[in-house]
Structures are given as C-alpha cells and as structure tokens.
C-alpha cells in the first residue's frame, strides 16, 4: 500500500502538516466518495469548490487532503482532531493528475497511448482508431465517455468526462487486460484542466479547434512523442509556424492540402458494396497515390480516415491493409450505418447538442437526394437548447421527425413542443412524434430511393429513461421491426 510520502515526496509541495507515512488506499475529489485511507483532492470547478468540503471528507475518514488554500482555524482544528494530514500545493488539478498517475504506477508508459483532441468528432475518431488497430491485430482499448472499451469487453466507469483518476485507472485496467495500445478522446477543456497530464502519449492528434490555442498546443508538444495535426484547419497556425521554424519536437500533418504528410485528393461521393461513402486518392510518402474508399459519408469521415492512416504509419502498421479496412469499419452509435433489406442509407448517431448536430447535418447534405432527420430531445435539459436543436434540424433537413430520446422527469409532449418551436420559423416539413418508435417508423415509411435518413439522440444506447424507470430500448431494433412491417404490408397488398 502506498503512503502519502510515496505519492507526494517529489511533487512541489508548498506546506505540509501531518504524518507523511499515512497509508493511502484510494483517491477522491468528491467528498461523498471519501472513506478511511482516502486522499481527498479539493478541486475548484465551474460551480463548486472542493475546499468547502474538507470537513466532510475528514469526518468520513480521509487520511489526507490536498489543497491550494490553507484552511481557516476552525477547519484546521477539525482536520487535526481527525488526524487528517494537509498538503498545500499551488494547483490542485495538476496535483490530482500527478498523484493519479503515480498511484496507478504510470500505466501509459507501458501502452501505445494515442490522444484525440478535438472540438467536434473526437469520440468518433477514437472509436474508429480503436476498431482499426484491433483489426490490425494490435489489441487496443479506448475511453468512450462513461465506457471503457477494450478489444473484448465494455465496462462502465460512471463519469461522462473522466477526471485524471478515472483516466489513469482505465489505462491500468487496459494493461491488466493485455491491451497494447489505448485511445483517449480529449476536449480542449481537458487539456486546460490537466486531466491528461503526466500521461505519456505516443501520438497526440489535433483534429479541429474553434480558435487558435497556442498555449494548449505548446502543452501538447511537450506531452507527446509525435503531434499530428489537421493541416487544413486554420486554427493550427501556431503548429504550422513551429514546423516551418524546424522546432525540435516531432510534428506531422494530415489533410487535403499539398503540404500535408498524409494527404487526400480527388474526392467524390459513391456507393461500394451497398456502403455510402467517399472515394479519394491518398498519398503518404514519395510513392504514387493509392485509391481509398471510406465507407462512411461526410468530410469529417475523410479527415478521420487520413488521421487514422497517419497513426498507422507512425506505429509501423501495414498502411495498405489499413486503407482496405476503412471501407468497412464503423463505430457503434457514431454515424453508424444500419444494414436493411432495401439497401437504403440509414445512420444512427448520438449527436445530442447543437454543435454536433449542425456539423453532422452539414456534412451529410451532399450525400442524399433528400436528408431526413429523426431528432430526439432530452428531458431535464435546457429548453433553449431544445429549441435551438429543432431550429438546426429543420434548417438543414428536408423532412424532420421531432421526438424524444429520454424524457426523464419531463412530459414527452412538452419536450417535443420545444423542438417544434425551433422548427416553425424554418421552411422544411416537420412532424411532432412524442413516441420515438413511431417517429422512426414514419420516417422509414416516407423514405424514397436516394434519400438519407439520420436518427439522432441515442446512438448505441440500449435503454430509455423515464421519470420512474429505465427500460430496454434500441433504435436498431425499432428499425429492424419497421422494415419487417413494411415487408408484411407490401406482401398483403400483393396477395
């Protein structure tokens, strides 16, 4: 068992009080999770401050607390009464990342760790990389929000945006399951809050950004053996300048411009073996270009594929084999194509916020004669967000079916009414369908050859949450049942 000294002895501590040999059994940044032997790290968040909960952590048995502000005398007395050691540091977020890496014995040092940093599409890219590397026989896991996904199992870790302890624990678990590589999706906020700090990245991928983030890009350069960035994204001017100045860090790029190291050209929409996607020529060295078919629609899918090939090149994996696999790979619940007896183009996606939805619909518009969208709104969420989602869906789709994903504590009709409020000012056709299954059936019934149907809100989820229960539900099952009903109906008409 580690002691407080083992965890903090080489970290820059400003002040210490207590027993350095205090045994540490676990880490916590939520006082409700504290218990005997816990090291409680007080974080300052957007809405609360862990320094307000030092007394609660001590009363629950915490052996030590890490703080950035020395407590008042009354709190200090209570901590001393409970024999709770104090460690004062300048930045508790950085300290949390450090002690988490040390507590789990730096698992990233034994993995080929790939970070996917993006404003949009990081989970889809991470899932694609994980699927591709596993098919190339490199056992790979990834942290997909609340899920830890490995080559042969899925485990729920209970937090959609994991903090440093969940990240390090997840990587340690992957090592135990004999994974050789791991993929970690990251937001720019994760970089700002140091959640990934003290992890050793073999490759850090920068896919897209809202604006130039030079300080975070500097942090990325220091964290990885190789930084791969999107040559076509104007936000990465800092990295391009660093590369042109021959900085010592390793920098490579992917994209559609001639300056990219892994570059695509001559894009055109096509369908191969029933899969809608994009054909292009790809170059990854001095040799001739290679023909590539990406079995998913949209320009984002093109960038994901180019990024994946750049990673494979860095890991010395067979690029031609990887290119062939990209024709078939998809990520469950992330623009996942749904096979059906008519060969129609139907996709499910988890897109639940306005940025994700707008990016996805804009990406898909050129790929169908008509774009049909089943949009699910969530209960216990902002009304304004739902109104905005309805506006986006109606503005970018030819037909909209407005329904519910998880009603939770709200009335389904009220959720749909918010979506309709946003859709009304737009000119496209829409229908209010509080019953999600009925909305999907209606959309499939309205499809014509050449249409593209996007069903959003749940993705690969297998449950539905209402005010009083969580019940089994799957968009995939509803789609299969809808086609069975269509076949039966047409069979009866022809009888």
Tell me the CA end-to-end span of the chain in Å, nearest whole number.
74
The CATH number of the domain holding residue 460 is: 3.90.190.20
Q: Does one domain contain both 216 and 344?
A: no
Task: Show which of 87, 102, 117 is a domain's final residue.
Answer: 102
The CATH number of the domain holding residue 141 is: 3.40.1190.10
Q: Does one domain contain both 225 and 342?
A: no
Q: Does one domain contain both 160 and 208?
A: yes
- Residue 150 belongs to some domain of the structure: yes
Lowest mean pLDDT among 108-117, 135-144, 234-243, 404-413: 234-243
Neighbouring-strand partners of residue 26: 38
Cβ count near 192 (within 10 Å): 13
pLDDT tens digits, 447-465: 999 999 999 999 989 999 9
- What does the alpha-carbon distance between residue 211 and residue 206 come to, in Å, rounded to a whole number? 13
Neighbouring-strand partners of residue 44: 49
Residue 143's pLDDT band (boundaries 50, 70, 90)?
confident
Predicted local confidence at residue 218, as pLDDT: 76
Domain extent, residue 88, equals 2-102
Q: Does one domain contain both 97 and 125?
A: no
Burial letters for 56-80: b for 16+ Cβ neighbours within 10 Å, e otherwise? Answer: ebbebebbbbbbbeebeeebeeebe
Q: Does one domain contain both 84 and 142?
A: no
Residue 179's pLDDT band (boundaries 50, 70, 90)?
very high
Q: Which two tokens stand for residue 262?
A: 């892994």
Task: Show which of 66, 86, 102 is a domain's final residue.
Answer: 102
- Residue 364 belongs to some domain of the structure: yes
Residue 251's pLDDT band (boundaries 50, 70, 90)?
very high
Q: Which two tokens stand for residue 270?
A: 């096509």
Predicted local confidence at residue 487, as pLDDT: 78
Task: Show which of 42, 71, 102 is a domain's final residue.
Answer: 102
Cβ count near 395 (within 10 Å): 16
- Residue 330 belongs to some domain of the structure: no
- Residue 387 belongs to some domain of the structure: yes
Query: Domains in the chain: how many in total?
Result: 3
Predicted local confidence at residue 263, as pLDDT: 96
Q: Does one domain contain both 316 and 441?
A: no
Q: Does one domain contain both 25 and 145?
A: no
Q: Does one domain contain both 246 and 227?
A: yes
Predicted local confidence at residue 200, as pLDDT: 95
Neighbouring-strand partners of residue 229: 206, 253
Nearest to 144 by CA among 126, 132, 129: 126
- Cβ–Cβ < 8 Å for 171, 104: yes
Q: Does one domain contain both 366 and 481?
A: yes
- Residue 233 belongs to some domain of the structure: yes
Predicted local confidence at residue 216, as pLDDT: 75
Lowest mean pLDDT among 87-91, 207-211, 261-265: 207-211
Q: What is the mean pLDDT of residues 343-366?
A: 94
Q: Does one domain contain both 398 and 301?
A: no
- Position 154 pLDDT exceeds 80: no
DSSP-derived letter for residue 331 is B
Q: Does one domain contain both 372 and 310?
A: no
Predicted local confidence at residue 157, as pLDDT: 62
Rounded to two decimals, the pTM is 0.93
Q: Does one domain contain both 428 and 394?
A: yes
Neighbouring-strand partners of residue 451: none
- Per DSSP, the residues of 220-252 read HHHHEEEEEEETT-GGGHHHHHHHHTT-SSEEE
- Position 489 pLDDT exceeds 90: no
Predicted local confidence at residue 243, as pLDDT: 83
Residue 375's pLDDT band (boundaries 50, 70, 90)?
very high
pLDDT tens digits, 155-175: 666 666 899 999 999 999 999
Q: What is the mean pLDDT of residues 207-213?
A: 83
The CATH number of the domain holding residue 7 is: 3.40.1390.10
Predicted local confidence at residue 152, as pLDDT: 65
- Residue 393 belongs to some domain of the structure: yes
The CB-based long-range contact list for 188-195 (8 Å cut-off, 24+ gap) reads 188/117, 188/119, 188/213, 188/216, 190/161, 191/117, 191/216, 191/219, 191/220, 192/216, 193/93, 194/91, 194/93, 194/94, 194/96, 194/97, 194/164, 195/93, 195/97, 195/162, 195/163, 195/164, 195/167
């Amino acid at each position: 068992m580690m002691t407080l000294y083992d965890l903090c002895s080489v970290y820059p501590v400003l002040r210490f009080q207590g027993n350095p040999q205090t045994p540490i059994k676990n880490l916590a940044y939520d006082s409700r999770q504290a218990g005997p032997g816990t090291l409680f790290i007080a974080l300052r968040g957007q809405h609360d401050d862990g320094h307000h909960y030092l007394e609660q952590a001590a009363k629950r048995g915490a052996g030590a607390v890490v703080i950035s502000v020395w407590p008042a005398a009354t709190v200090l007395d209570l901590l001393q009464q409970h024999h709770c050691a104090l460690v004062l540091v300048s930045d508790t977020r950085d300290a949390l990342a450090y002690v988490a890496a040390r507590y789990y014995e730096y698992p990233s040092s034994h993995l080929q760790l790939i970070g996917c940093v993006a404003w949009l599409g990081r989970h889809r890219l991470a899932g694609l990389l994980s699927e591709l590397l596993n098919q190339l026989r490199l056992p790979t896991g990834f942290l997909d929000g609340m899920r830890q996904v490995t080559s042969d199992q899925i485990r729920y870790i209970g937090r959609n945006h994991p903090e440093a302890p969940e990240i390090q624990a997840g990587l340690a678990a992957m090592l135990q399951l004999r994974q050789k590589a791991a993929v970690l999706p990251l937001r720019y906020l994760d970089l700002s809050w140091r959640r990934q700090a003290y992890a050793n990245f073999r490759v850090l991928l920068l896919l897209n950004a809202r604006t130039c983030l030079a300080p975070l890009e500097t942090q990325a350069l220091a964290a990885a053996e190789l930084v791969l960035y999107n040559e076509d994204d104007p936000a990465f001017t800092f990295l391009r300048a660093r590369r042109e100045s021959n900085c010592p860090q390793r920098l490579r790029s992917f994209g559609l411009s001639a300056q990219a190291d892994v570059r695509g050209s001559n894009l055109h929409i096509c369908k191969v073996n029933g899969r809608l996607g994009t054909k292009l020529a790809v170059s990854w060295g001095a040799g001739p270009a290679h023909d590539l078919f990406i079995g998913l629609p949209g320009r984002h899918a093109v960038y994901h594929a180019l990024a994946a090939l750049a990673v494979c090149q860095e890991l010395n994996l067979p690029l031609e084999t990887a290119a062939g696999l990209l024709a078939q790979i998809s990520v469950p619940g992330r623009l996942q194509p749904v096979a059906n007896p008519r060969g129609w183009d139907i996709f499910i996606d988890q897109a639940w916020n306005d940025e994700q939805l707008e990016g996805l619909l804009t990406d898909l518009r050129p790929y169908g004669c008509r774009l049909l969208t089943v949009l699910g709104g969530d209960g216990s969420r902002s009304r304004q967000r739902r109104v905005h989602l309805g506006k986006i869906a109606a503005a970018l789709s030819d037909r909209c079916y407005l329904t519910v994903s998880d009603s939770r504590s709200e009335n389904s009709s009220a959720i749909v009414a918010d979506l309709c409020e946003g859709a009304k000012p737009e000119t496209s056709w829409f229908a209010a369908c509080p019953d999600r299954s009925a909305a999907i059936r209606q959309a499939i019934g309205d499809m014509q050859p050449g249409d593209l149907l996007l069903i959003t809100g749940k993705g690969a989820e297998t449950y539905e949450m209402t005010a009083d229960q969580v019940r089994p539900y799957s968009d995939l099952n509803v789609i299969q049942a809808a086609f069975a009903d269509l076949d039966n109906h047409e069979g009866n008409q022809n009888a």
